[in-house]
Amino acid sequence: MSRAAVLAGLGTYVPPRVVTNEELSRTLDTSDEWIRTRTGITRRHWAGPGTATGDLAVEAGTRALKSAGSGDVDLVVLATTTPDHPCPATAPEVASRLGLQTVAAYDLAAVCSGFVYALASATGAIAAGIAERALVIGAETYSTILNPEDRTTSVIFGDGAGAVVLRAGDPDEPGALLGHDLGSDGSLKDLIIVPSGGSRQPVAAAGTSGARPADSYFSMQGKPVFRHAVTRMAASSQAMLDRAGWAAETVDWFVGHQANVRILHAVADQLGMARERTAVNLDRVGNTSAASIPLALADAVTGGLITPGDRVLMSAFGGGVTWGSTALVWPEVAPG
Ligand code: COA
Protein backbone atom coordinates (compact mmCIF):
# COMPACT_ATOMS: atom_id res chain seq x y z
CA MET A 1 0.00 0.00 0.00
CA SER A 2 1.36 3.43 -0.91
CA ARG A 3 2.15 5.98 1.78
CA ALA A 4 -0.42 8.71 2.26
CA ALA A 5 -0.10 12.09 3.97
CA VAL A 6 -2.49 12.19 6.93
CA LEU A 7 -3.58 15.41 8.66
CA ALA A 8 -2.54 15.16 12.32
CA GLY A 9 -2.62 18.73 13.67
CA LEU A 10 -4.09 22.17 12.98
CA GLY A 11 -3.26 25.62 14.35
CA THR A 12 -3.97 29.24 13.42
CA TYR A 13 -3.12 32.76 14.45
CA VAL A 14 -4.37 36.24 13.55
CA PRO A 15 -2.74 39.43 14.84
CA PRO A 16 -4.79 41.20 17.52
CA ARG A 17 -5.53 44.44 15.66
CA VAL A 18 -9.03 44.39 14.12
CA VAL A 19 -9.72 46.75 11.21
CA THR A 20 -13.42 47.29 10.57
CA ASN A 21 -15.11 48.45 7.38
CA GLU A 22 -16.05 51.64 9.23
CA GLU A 23 -12.39 52.35 9.98
CA LEU A 24 -11.45 51.96 6.29
CA SER A 25 -14.38 54.16 5.25
CA ARG A 26 -12.82 57.04 7.16
CA THR A 27 -9.79 57.21 4.83
CA LEU A 28 -11.07 55.58 1.61
CA ASP A 29 -14.00 56.39 -0.69
CA THR A 30 -15.91 53.27 0.36
CA SER A 31 -18.60 52.17 2.82
CA ASP A 32 -19.43 49.30 5.13
CA GLU A 33 -22.48 48.64 2.97
CA TRP A 34 -20.45 48.36 -0.29
CA ILE A 35 -17.82 46.08 1.24
CA ARG A 36 -20.36 43.82 2.94
CA THR A 37 -22.68 43.43 -0.03
CA ARG A 38 -19.95 43.07 -2.71
CA THR A 39 -17.61 40.78 -0.71
CA GLY A 40 -19.23 39.58 2.54
CA ILE A 41 -16.35 41.04 4.60
CA THR A 42 -17.08 43.04 7.77
CA ARG A 43 -13.62 43.16 9.35
CA ARG A 44 -10.08 41.83 9.03
CA HIS A 45 -6.88 41.71 11.14
CA TRP A 46 -3.76 43.71 10.21
CA ALA A 47 -0.43 43.04 11.86
CA GLY A 48 1.05 46.53 12.13
CA PRO A 49 4.67 47.74 12.20
CA GLY A 50 7.25 45.35 13.58
CA THR A 51 5.31 42.17 12.85
CA ALA A 52 6.27 40.10 9.80
CA THR A 53 4.83 37.01 8.13
CA GLY A 54 7.37 34.79 9.91
CA ASP A 55 6.07 35.95 13.30
CA LEU A 56 2.51 34.88 12.41
CA ALA A 57 3.82 31.60 10.96
CA VAL A 58 5.65 30.77 14.20
CA GLU A 59 2.45 31.33 16.22
CA ALA A 60 0.33 29.14 13.92
CA GLY A 61 3.08 26.53 13.68
CA THR A 62 3.37 26.31 17.47
CA ARG A 63 -0.37 25.70 17.76
CA ALA A 64 -0.38 23.09 14.97
CA LEU A 65 2.46 21.14 16.61
CA LYS A 66 0.58 21.28 19.93
CA SER A 67 -2.59 20.04 18.21
CA ALA A 68 -0.59 17.15 16.72
CA GLY A 69 0.71 16.26 20.18
CA SER A 70 4.30 16.23 18.95
CA GLY A 71 6.87 18.81 17.92
CA ASP A 72 8.58 16.24 15.78
CA VAL A 73 8.63 17.13 12.06
CA ASP A 74 11.34 16.80 9.43
CA LEU A 75 10.01 19.21 6.78
CA VAL A 76 8.58 22.74 6.90
CA VAL A 77 6.82 24.17 3.84
CA LEU A 78 5.69 27.79 4.12
CA ALA A 79 3.27 29.14 1.52
CA THR A 80 3.37 32.93 1.34
CA THR A 81 3.14 35.90 -1.01
CA THR A 82 4.64 38.20 1.61
CA PRO A 83 7.93 36.63 2.78
CA ASP A 84 9.95 38.41 5.46
CA HIS A 85 12.68 39.17 2.88
CA PRO A 86 13.12 38.68 -0.90
CA CYS A 87 16.11 36.52 0.16
CA PRO A 88 16.43 34.16 2.01
CA ALA A 89 13.19 32.18 2.29
CA THR A 90 11.18 32.64 5.49
CA ALA A 91 10.66 28.93 6.25
CA PRO A 92 14.16 28.13 7.58
CA GLU A 93 13.97 30.90 10.20
CA VAL A 94 10.42 29.85 11.15
CA ALA A 95 11.63 26.25 11.54
CA SER A 96 14.55 27.40 13.66
CA ARG A 97 12.30 29.52 15.90
CA LEU A 98 10.03 26.48 16.35
CA GLY A 99 13.02 24.51 17.63
CA LEU A 100 13.24 22.50 14.41
CA GLN A 101 16.95 23.00 13.78
CA THR A 102 18.38 21.45 10.60
CA VAL A 103 15.09 20.23 9.07
CA ALA A 104 14.37 20.78 5.37
CA ALA A 105 12.51 24.09 4.99
CA TYR A 106 11.42 26.11 1.97
CA ASP A 107 8.89 28.73 0.87
CA LEU A 108 6.31 28.10 -1.80
CA ALA A 109 4.79 30.91 -3.87
CA ALA A 110 1.38 30.30 -5.42
CA VAL A 111 -0.42 33.35 -3.98
CA CYS A 112 -3.93 32.43 -2.74
CA SER A 113 -3.50 28.82 -3.94
CA GLY A 114 -0.30 28.53 -1.91
CA PHE A 115 -1.64 26.40 0.91
CA VAL A 116 -3.21 23.82 -1.43
CA TYR A 117 0.01 23.70 -3.46
CA ALA A 118 2.04 23.32 -0.24
CA LEU A 119 -0.16 20.41 0.87
CA ALA A 120 0.54 18.69 -2.46
CA SER A 121 4.27 19.41 -2.20
CA ALA A 122 4.52 18.00 1.34
CA THR A 123 2.38 15.01 0.36
CA GLY A 124 4.85 14.27 -2.44
CA ALA A 125 7.77 14.44 0.00
CA ILE A 126 6.01 12.05 2.38
CA ALA A 127 5.02 9.64 -0.40
CA ALA A 128 8.61 9.61 -1.69
CA GLY A 129 10.01 8.88 1.77
CA ILE A 130 11.80 12.25 1.90
CA ALA A 131 9.82 13.21 5.02
CA GLU A 132 7.89 11.39 7.75
CA ARG A 133 6.12 14.40 9.26
CA ALA A 134 5.68 17.82 7.66
CA LEU A 135 4.54 21.17 8.98
CA VAL A 136 2.66 23.01 6.22
CA ILE A 137 2.04 26.69 6.91
CA GLY A 138 0.17 29.40 5.02
CA ALA A 139 1.03 32.85 6.39
CA GLU A 140 0.57 36.36 5.08
CA THR A 141 0.92 40.02 5.98
CA TYR A 142 -0.86 41.59 2.99
CA SER A 143 -1.14 44.81 4.99
CA THR A 144 2.54 45.37 4.03
CA ILE A 145 1.83 45.30 0.27
CA LEU A 146 -1.60 46.97 0.12
CA ASN A 147 -1.72 50.49 -1.28
CA PRO A 148 -3.55 52.41 1.47
CA GLU A 149 -5.07 54.63 -1.25
CA ASP A 150 -6.45 51.73 -3.33
CA ARG A 151 -10.01 50.96 -2.27
CA THR A 152 -10.26 48.00 -4.65
CA THR A 153 -7.66 45.98 -2.71
CA SER A 154 -7.35 47.52 0.78
CA VAL A 155 -10.86 46.48 1.78
CA ILE A 156 -10.39 42.86 0.76
CA PHE A 157 -7.20 41.49 2.30
CA GLY A 158 -6.29 40.59 5.88
CA ASP A 159 -3.26 39.18 7.72
CA GLY A 160 -3.08 35.78 9.40
CA ALA A 161 -1.54 32.31 9.45
CA GLY A 162 -2.73 28.71 9.51
CA ALA A 163 -0.78 25.47 9.70
CA VAL A 164 -1.29 21.73 9.60
CA VAL A 165 0.91 18.78 10.49
CA LEU A 166 0.93 15.94 7.95
CA ARG A 167 2.31 12.51 8.88
CA ALA A 168 2.95 9.38 6.85
CA GLY A 169 0.01 6.96 7.06
CA ASP A 170 -2.42 4.80 5.14
CA PRO A 171 -4.62 6.08 2.29
CA ASP A 172 -7.78 4.66 3.88
CA GLU A 173 -7.46 6.22 7.35
CA PRO A 174 -9.34 9.40 8.32
CA GLY A 175 -7.30 12.51 7.59
CA ALA A 176 -5.52 11.02 4.54
CA LEU A 177 -5.38 13.50 1.66
CA LEU A 178 -7.22 11.75 -1.16
CA GLY A 179 -5.38 13.33 -4.08
CA HIS A 180 -4.63 16.74 -5.51
CA ASP A 181 -5.73 18.70 -8.56
CA LEU A 182 -3.39 21.59 -9.41
CA GLY A 183 -3.16 23.96 -12.35
CA SER A 184 -1.99 27.34 -13.61
CA ASP A 185 -2.34 29.80 -16.48
CA GLY A 186 0.58 32.24 -16.56
CA SER A 187 -0.86 34.16 -19.51
CA LEU A 188 -3.09 35.81 -16.89
CA LYS A 189 -0.25 36.87 -14.56
CA ASP A 190 -1.12 40.57 -14.80
CA LEU A 191 -4.52 40.05 -13.15
CA ILE A 192 -2.88 39.81 -9.71
CA ILE A 193 0.57 41.37 -9.45
CA VAL A 194 3.11 43.34 -7.43
CA PRO A 195 4.87 44.86 -10.47
CA SER A 196 8.22 45.87 -8.93
CA GLY A 197 10.66 44.36 -6.48
CA GLY A 198 11.64 41.33 -8.56
CA SER A 199 14.27 40.76 -11.26
CA ARG A 200 11.97 41.96 -14.07
CA GLN A 201 11.61 45.33 -12.42
CA PRO A 202 13.88 45.85 -9.43
CA VAL A 203 12.63 48.19 -6.75
CA ALA A 204 12.36 51.72 -8.10
CA ALA A 205 14.01 54.50 -6.13
CA ALA A 206 11.51 56.45 -4.07
CA GLY A 207 10.56 59.83 -5.52
CA THR A 208 11.91 63.06 -4.08
CA SER A 209 9.00 63.08 -1.64
CA GLY A 210 10.28 59.75 -0.32
CA ALA A 211 6.92 58.13 -1.05
CA ARG A 212 6.80 54.41 -1.71
CA PRO A 213 6.47 53.79 -5.49
CA ALA A 214 2.94 52.83 -6.53
CA ASP A 215 4.20 49.81 -8.49
CA SER A 216 5.62 48.23 -5.33
CA TYR A 217 2.05 47.65 -4.12
CA PHE A 218 -0.28 44.73 -4.82
CA SER A 219 -2.76 45.30 -7.64
CA MET A 220 -5.69 43.22 -8.83
CA GLN A 221 -8.21 43.32 -11.68
CA GLY A 222 -11.19 42.30 -9.57
CA LYS A 223 -13.79 41.52 -12.21
CA PRO A 224 -11.84 39.04 -14.39
CA VAL A 225 -10.32 37.51 -11.24
CA PHE A 226 -13.84 36.89 -9.95
CA ARG A 227 -14.85 35.16 -13.21
CA HIS A 228 -11.73 32.98 -13.46
CA ALA A 229 -11.91 32.11 -9.73
CA VAL A 230 -15.43 30.72 -10.10
CA THR A 231 -14.68 28.77 -13.29
CA ARG A 232 -11.36 27.32 -12.13
CA MET A 233 -12.38 26.47 -8.56
CA ALA A 234 -15.52 24.73 -9.81
CA ALA A 235 -13.64 22.71 -12.47
CA SER A 236 -10.78 21.84 -10.09
CA SER A 237 -13.22 20.86 -7.34
CA GLN A 238 -15.07 18.59 -9.78
CA ALA A 239 -11.78 16.99 -10.87
CA MET A 240 -10.95 16.35 -7.21
CA LEU A 241 -14.41 14.89 -6.54
CA ASP A 242 -13.95 12.54 -9.50
CA ARG A 243 -10.55 11.48 -8.15
CA ALA A 244 -11.98 10.82 -4.68
CA GLY A 245 -15.03 9.04 -6.13
CA TRP A 246 -17.38 11.39 -4.26
CA ALA A 247 -20.64 12.81 -5.61
CA ALA A 248 -20.94 16.56 -4.87
CA GLU A 249 -24.04 16.04 -2.73
CA THR A 250 -22.13 13.67 -0.43
CA VAL A 251 -19.61 16.38 0.56
CA ASP A 252 -20.29 17.64 4.09
CA TRP A 253 -18.19 20.82 3.88
CA PHE A 254 -16.74 22.85 1.04
CA VAL A 255 -13.79 24.83 2.43
CA GLY A 256 -12.96 27.18 -0.43
CA HIS A 257 -10.47 30.02 -0.58
CA GLN A 258 -12.09 32.89 1.30
CA ALA A 259 -11.96 35.63 -1.34
CA ASN A 260 -15.57 36.66 -1.66
CA VAL A 261 -18.74 34.99 -0.40
CA ARG A 262 -20.31 35.47 -3.84
CA ILE A 263 -17.47 33.41 -5.37
CA LEU A 264 -17.97 30.61 -2.81
CA HIS A 265 -21.71 30.48 -3.46
CA ALA A 266 -21.23 30.53 -7.25
CA VAL A 267 -18.81 27.59 -7.00
CA ALA A 268 -21.23 25.67 -4.77
CA ASP A 269 -24.02 26.33 -7.28
CA GLN A 270 -21.89 25.09 -10.20
CA LEU A 271 -20.99 21.92 -8.29
CA GLY A 272 -24.61 21.30 -7.31
CA MET A 273 -23.83 21.62 -3.59
CA ALA A 274 -26.05 23.37 -1.05
CA ARG A 275 -24.65 26.83 -0.24
CA GLU A 276 -25.12 26.01 3.48
CA ARG A 277 -22.35 23.43 3.12
CA THR A 278 -19.83 26.21 2.41
CA ALA A 279 -17.52 27.14 5.29
CA VAL A 280 -17.34 30.94 5.60
CA ASN A 281 -15.10 33.00 7.88
CA LEU A 282 -14.11 35.74 5.44
CA ASP A 283 -16.67 38.01 7.10
CA ARG A 284 -14.30 38.18 10.11
CA VAL A 285 -10.82 37.82 8.54
CA GLY A 286 -11.14 38.96 4.90
CA ASN A 287 -9.02 37.35 2.21
CA THR A 288 -5.87 36.07 3.94
CA SER A 289 -4.46 34.49 0.75
CA ALA A 290 -2.27 31.45 1.58
CA ALA A 291 -3.60 31.43 5.17
CA SER A 292 -7.21 31.41 4.04
CA ILE A 293 -8.02 27.70 3.87
CA PRO A 294 -6.44 26.62 7.19
CA LEU A 295 -8.09 29.60 8.93
CA ALA A 296 -11.48 28.62 7.47
CA LEU A 297 -10.91 24.95 8.36
CA ALA A 298 -10.05 25.76 11.98
CA ASP A 299 -12.99 28.15 12.27
CA ALA A 300 -15.39 25.46 11.05
CA VAL A 301 -13.92 22.79 13.35
CA THR A 302 -13.90 25.07 16.39
CA GLY A 303 -17.48 26.15 15.62
CA GLY A 304 -18.61 22.53 15.62
CA LEU A 305 -19.51 22.53 11.91
CA ILE A 306 -16.84 20.10 10.72
CA THR A 307 -16.79 16.96 12.88
CA PRO A 308 -14.77 13.72 12.62
CA GLY A 309 -15.95 11.58 9.71
CA ASP A 310 -17.13 14.54 7.61
CA ARG A 311 -16.17 14.68 3.94
CA VAL A 312 -14.25 17.93 3.38
CA LEU A 313 -13.41 19.39 -0.04
CA MET A 314 -10.88 22.25 -0.27
CA SER A 315 -10.29 24.44 -3.31
CA ALA A 316 -8.40 27.65 -4.02
CA PHE A 317 -7.64 30.13 -6.80
CA GLY A 318 -4.97 32.78 -6.79
CA GLY A 319 -2.41 34.89 -8.60
CA GLY A 320 -0.25 33.32 -11.26
CA VAL A 321 -2.99 32.49 -12.01
CA THR A 322 -3.03 29.23 -10.08
CA TRP A 323 -5.65 26.90 -8.70
CA GLY A 324 -5.86 23.64 -6.79
CA SER A 325 -8.04 21.29 -4.77
CA THR A 326 -7.74 18.42 -2.34
CA ALA A 327 -10.09 16.43 -0.10
CA LEU A 328 -10.11 14.36 3.07
CA VAL A 329 -12.35 12.70 5.62
CA TRP A 330 -11.98 14.83 8.76
CA PRO A 331 -9.94 13.00 11.45
CA GLU A 332 -10.04 13.34 15.27
CA VAL A 333 -8.08 16.58 15.22
CA ALA A 334 -8.90 19.77 17.13
CA PRO A 335 -7.13 23.10 16.55
CA GLY A 336 -4.29 23.67 19.02
N1 COA B 1 -15.87 50.80 -2.28
C2 COA B 1 -16.77 51.40 -3.06
N3 COA B 1 -16.78 51.25 -4.40
C4 COA B 1 -15.84 50.47 -4.94
C5 COA B 1 -14.87 49.80 -4.16
C6 COA B 1 -14.91 50.00 -2.78
N7 COA B 1 -14.03 49.44 -1.94
N8 COA B 1 -14.08 49.09 -4.98
C9 COA B 1 -14.53 49.28 -6.22
N10 COA B 1 -15.59 50.12 -6.19
C11 COA B 1 -16.38 50.61 -7.33
C12 COA B 1 -15.66 50.54 -8.64
O13 COA B 1 -14.85 51.67 -8.81
C14 COA B 1 -16.82 50.49 -9.60
O15 COA B 1 -17.29 51.78 -9.80
P16 COA B 1 -17.83 52.23 -11.26
O17 COA B 1 -18.97 51.31 -11.55
O18 COA B 1 -18.20 53.64 -11.03
O19 COA B 1 -16.66 52.02 -12.18
C20 COA B 1 -17.88 49.71 -8.85
O21 COA B 1 -17.53 49.77 -7.46
C22 COA B 1 -17.98 48.27 -9.26
O23 COA B 1 -16.64 47.75 -9.29
P24 COA B 1 -16.35 46.30 -9.73
O25 COA B 1 -14.87 46.07 -9.71
O26 COA B 1 -17.10 46.02 -11.00
O27 COA B 1 -17.04 45.55 -8.52
P28 COA B 1 -17.25 44.03 -8.34
O29 COA B 1 -18.67 43.77 -8.11
O30 COA B 1 -16.54 43.23 -9.38
O31 COA B 1 -16.54 43.79 -6.95
C32 COA B 1 -14.50 42.89 -6.12
C33 COA B 1 -15.16 44.06 -6.83
C34 COA B 1 -13.01 43.14 -6.02
C35 COA B 1 -15.09 42.76 -4.75
C36 COA B 1 -14.78 41.62 -6.92
O37 COA B 1 -14.47 41.84 -8.28
C38 COA B 1 -14.03 40.45 -6.43
O39 COA B 1 -14.27 39.97 -5.37
N40 COA B 1 -13.10 39.94 -7.25
C41 COA B 1 -12.33 38.78 -6.90
C42 COA B 1 -11.32 39.15 -5.88
C43 COA B 1 -10.57 37.95 -5.46
O44 COA B 1 -11.13 36.92 -5.35
N45 COA B 1 -9.29 38.12 -5.27
C46 COA B 1 -8.44 37.15 -4.81
C47 COA B 1 -8.43 35.97 -5.66
S48 COA B 1 -7.05 35.15 -5.27
User: Which run of H or E residues covers position 24?
Assistant: helix 21-27
Query: Which atom of ligand 1 lies closest to the CA of 220?
Result: 45
CB 147 within 8 A of CB 218: yes
Here the CATH number for the domain that contains residue 298 is 3.40.47.10
Of 169, 202, 233, which marks where a domain is finished? 169
| 14 and 135 share one domain | yes
pLDDT at 207 over 90: no
| 58 and 121 share one domain | yes
pTM (2 decimals)?
0.96
pLDDT band at 44 (very low <50, low <70, confident <90, very high): very high
| 316 and 237 share one domain | yes
- What is the average per-residue pLDDT within 265-286? 97
The per-residue pLDDT for 109 is 98
Three-class secondary structure of residue 198 per DSSP: coil
| 60 and 145 share one domain | yes
Q: What's the gap in Å between 152 CA and the centre of ligand 1?
A: 6
Residue 212 lies in a domain: no
Q: What's the gap in Å between 153 CA and the centre of ligand 1?
A: 9
pLDDT at 206 over 80: no
> How many domains, the chain?
2
Range of the domain at 228: 180-189+217-329
Residue whose Cα lies nearest atom 37 of ligand 1: it is 222
Q: What's the gap in Å between 155 CA and the centre of ligand 1?
A: 10
| 149 and 236 share one domain | no
| 61 and 11 share one domain | yes
Give 106-161 as a DSSP string.
EEE--GGGHHHHHHHHHHHHHHTTS-SEEEEEEEE-GGGTS-TT-HHHHTTB--EE
Q: What's the gap in Å between 223 CA and the centre of ligand 1?
A: 7
| 259 and 122 share one domain | no
Query: Which atom of ligand 1 lies closest to the CA of 319?
Result: 48
- What is the average per-residue pLDDT within 125-154? 97
User: Ligand 1: which of 152, 230, 322 to mutate, judged by most atoms within 8 Å of the beta carbon?
Assistant: 152
pLDDT band at 71 (very low <50, low <70, confident <90, very high): confident
Residues assigned a catalytic role: 112, 257, 287
